């Protein structure tokens, strides 16, 4: 098992490529959240870093990593390749399992990254991923696997993001796990309005506190409206 300082730049080998990542593990971490960003974004996304820093202050480890290499990102078609993102996220998850001290694992997915987060959670089955949060996500891009997600899932959507809100309401009906849909009033897709990202971040943190911390695990087959 590798030993890390609390703030490391790492490299993850997945499917024949090497992906760059930033791993931060606070002292006595309560769990680790792996980020799956949206198309055209990267581990340097200011919104995801804002969320990650809040989670770190709340005692959670975080891993932000690039789903694509620099060369792959130049191909527009790769930016919506959900199966590829899912494979990369699963590879990063296995890396975390092998290189951290048994921390419970959660996913935070934004935009198209939410589809790969849900797809990876479904592929791992029960008792691997403990919590999923989607912020402005596109769960419709993972529609076929939604009934097979066993992980407690929170869908956060801006109230003014009408089309994405429709997608998330349909996804909530398709999910058979513990689930909730929370609408951030007057927020658009990127949560750029004053206080919107802060509200979404606190909602995510509360969800991870409820389902990711080892002493607060919940039964995975309970349905929640």
R_g of the chain computed on alpha carbons? 16
C-alpha dihedral sign at 167, 128, 91, 20: positive
Confirm if 18 and 3 have CB atoms less than 8 A apart.
no
pLDDT tens sequence for the chain (225 residues): 344 445 688 899 988 899 989 999 998 899 999 999 866 556 677 888 999 999 999 999 999 998 887 777 677 677 788 999 999 999 999 999 998 878 999 999 999 999 999 999 999 998 899 999 999 999 999 999 999 999 999 999 999 999 999 999 999 999 999 999 999 999 999 999 999 999 999 999 999 999 998 764 444 333 333
Q: Do the bridges between strand 7-14 and strand 17-24 make them parallel or antiparallel, or are there none, so unpaired?
A: antiparallel
How is residue 63 written in tokens? Answer: 């891993």
How is residue 218 written in tokens? Answer: 């919940």
User: Is 40 part of any domain?
Assistant: yes
- Residue 194 phi, psi dihedral angles, 5° rounding: -55, 125
How is residue 101 written in tokens? Answer: 């001290």
What pLDDT is attached to residue 40? 57
110 forms beta bridges with 135
Range of the structural domain that residue 158 is part of: 7-216
Q: How far apart are CA 138 and CA 167, in angstroms?
A: 7
Number of domains in the chain: 1
**CA geometry: angle 56, 119, 213, nearest 5 deg:** 30
Task: List, in sequence order, every beta strand (DSSP E) within the chain.
Answer: 7-14, 17-24, 32-36, 61-65, 105-110, 129-135, 153-158, 179-184
User: Is 192 part of any domain?
Assistant: yes
3-state secondary structure of 179: strand
What pLDDT is attached to residue 42? 62
3-state secondary structure of 220: coil
Q: How far apart are CA 166 and CA 172, in angstroms?
A: 10
User: Is 98 part of any domain?
Assistant: yes
How is residue 162 written in tokens? Answer: 């009408």
Buried b (16+ CB within 10 A) or exposed e, 10-23: bebebeeeebbbbb
What pLDDT is attached to residue 63? 95
User: Is 83 part of any domain?
Assistant: yes
User: Is 222 part of any domain?
Assistant: no
User: Is 225 part of any domain?
Assistant: no
What pLDDT is attached to residue 3? 43
Q: For residue 11, what are the contacts with CB-CB under 8 A and spacing of at least 6?
A: 18, 19, 20, 21
Q: How far apart are CA 105 and CA 44, in angstroms?
A: 21
CATH of the domain at 128: 3.40.50.1820
User: Is 21 part of any domain?
Assistant: yes
What pLDDT is attached to residue 6? 58
Q: For residue 128, what are the contacts with CB-CB under 8 A and spacing of at least 6?
A: 93, 105, 121
* C-alpha 47, offset from chain centre: 13
User: Is 221 part of any domain?
Assistant: no
């Amino acid at each position: 098992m590798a030993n890390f300082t609390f703030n490391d730049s790492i490299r993850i080998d997945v499917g024949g490529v090497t992906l760059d990542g930033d791993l931060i593990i606070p002292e006595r971490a309560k769990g680790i959240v792996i980020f799956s960003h949206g198309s055209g974004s990267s581990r340097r996304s200011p919104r995801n870093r804002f969320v990650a820093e809040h989670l770190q202050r709340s005692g959670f480890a975080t891993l932000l990593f690039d789903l694509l290499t620099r060369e792959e990102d130049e191909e527009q078609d790769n930016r919506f390749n959900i199966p590829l993102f899912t494979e990369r996220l699963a590879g990063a998850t296995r890396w975390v399992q092998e290189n951290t001290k048994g921390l419970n694992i959660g996913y935070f997915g934004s935009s198209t990254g939410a589809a790969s987060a849900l797809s990876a959670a479904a592929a791992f089955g029960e008792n691997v991923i403990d919590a999923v949060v989607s912020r402005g996500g596109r769960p419709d891009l993972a529609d076929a696997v939604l009934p097979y997600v066993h992980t407690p899932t929170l869908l956060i959507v801006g109230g003014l993001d009408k089309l994405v809100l429709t997608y998330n309401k349909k996804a909530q009906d398709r999910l058979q796990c513990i689930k909730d849909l929370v609408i951030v009033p007057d927020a658009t897709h990127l949560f750029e309005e004053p206080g919107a990202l802060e509200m979404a971040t606190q909602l995510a943190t509360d969800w991870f506190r409820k389902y990711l911390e080892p002493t607060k695990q919940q039964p995975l087959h309970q349905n929640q409206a």
